[in-house]
């Protein structure tokens, strides 16, 4: 499903943008149940959606609805009562959590999702080793990105490792195996479940299958098992800064670095 970028100056073409969103929603199997309803009557749709949200598995629909109502508030001829209703609806759409009941929707943040084992750290069964330049990397990235740690490891294991390290202070949220999509041979990390815009979300993982649902958002980092001469995190800092401040879709910017030495980007 296509995810639309923000339109901060969209007051003059709100309806055109909404119609594009509407077509995307109707074309999505998960939301086909809504296609029989009148999308122009937005209040009816949201009442329906909120009433039956437990039966609809589509965090991206919440994002589209939230984005639409924010745009609608800029419409010059919007009735006063409609503004009142929309201002009551927006918090309801923001409140439901997407993954594990503890991550609220955030459409504004640029988000960097990081794997743990053999990406940031290496655990040999006895001791935990941090990848070289890890704290420098996290400190600088946390200033410009919302950081989410997303590991396919069990939650109990991850907490045991994290409690030994100072790096946890830089992360806003932590996700574990129970938050992945479990397939036969790998654990998939579906970025749509995070309640973030894909145009503002990057995932770094040493296992490409983990982000195979959104490969255009991913950086496959080299597996790390204790090599102290490794400097990949240091290499990533200027790249991720350039992407963040480009004001472009991160997926477009990532493609520009696809042949960068030592890193594997989407083709």
Enumerate the active-site residues: 115, 117
Contact 150, 203 (CB under 8 A): yes
Proportion of the chain in helix, strand, coil states, percent, rounded to 5? 45, 10, 45
3-state secondary structure of 216: helix
Phi, psi of 163 (to 5 degrees): -65, -15
Is 217 within 8 Å of 190 (Cβ atoms)? Answer: no
Rounded Cα distance between 230 and 84, Å, is: 55
Q: How many CA atoms lie within 13 A of 190 on its CB side?
A: 16
Exposure string for 234-244, b = 16+ CB within 10 A, e = fewer: ebbeebbeebb
At 107 the three-state DSSP class reads coil
Do residues 165 and 121 touch, judged by C-beta distance below 8 A? yes
Q: What's the token pair of residue 51?
A: 């009433």
Which residues, 6 or more positions from 239, have their beta carbon under 8 angstroms from its beta carbon?
Answer: 257, 260, 263
How does DSSP classify residue 117? B
Segment (H or E) for 150 = strand 146-150
């Amino acid at each position: 499903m296509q995810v639309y970028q923000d339109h901060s100056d969209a007051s003059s073409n709100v309806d055109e943008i909404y119609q594009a969103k509407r077509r995307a929603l109707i074309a999505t199997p998960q939301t086909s149940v809504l296609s029989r309803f009148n999308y122009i009557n937005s209040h009816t749709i949201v009442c329906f959606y909120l009433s039956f949200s437990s039966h609809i598995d589509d965090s991206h629909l919440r994002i589209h609805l939230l984005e639409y109502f924010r745009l609608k508030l800029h419409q010059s001829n919007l009735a006063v009562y409609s503004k009142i209703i929309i201002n009551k609806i927006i918090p309801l759409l923001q409140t439901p959590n997407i993954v594990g009941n503890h991550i609220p929707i955030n459409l504004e943040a640029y988000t960097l999702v990081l794997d743990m084992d053999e990406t940031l750290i290496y655990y040999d069964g006895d001791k935990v080793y941090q990848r070289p330049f890890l704290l420098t990397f996290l400190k600088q990235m946390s200033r410009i990105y919302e950081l989410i740690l997303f590991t396919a490891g069990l939650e109990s294991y991850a907490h045991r490792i994290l409690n030994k390290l100072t790096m946890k202070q830089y992360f806003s949220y932590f996700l574990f195996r129970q938050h992945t999509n479990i397939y036969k041979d790998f654990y998939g990390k579906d970025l749509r479940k995070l309640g973030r815009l894909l145009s503002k979300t990057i995932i770094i993982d040493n296992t490409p299958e983990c982000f195979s649902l959104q490969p255009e958002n991913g950086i496959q980092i080299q597996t790390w098992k204790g090599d102290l001469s490794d400097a990949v995190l240091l290499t990533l800092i200027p790249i991720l800064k350039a992407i963040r401040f480009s004001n472009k879709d991160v997926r477009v910017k990532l493609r520009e670095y696809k042949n960068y030495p030592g890193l594997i980007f989407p083709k």
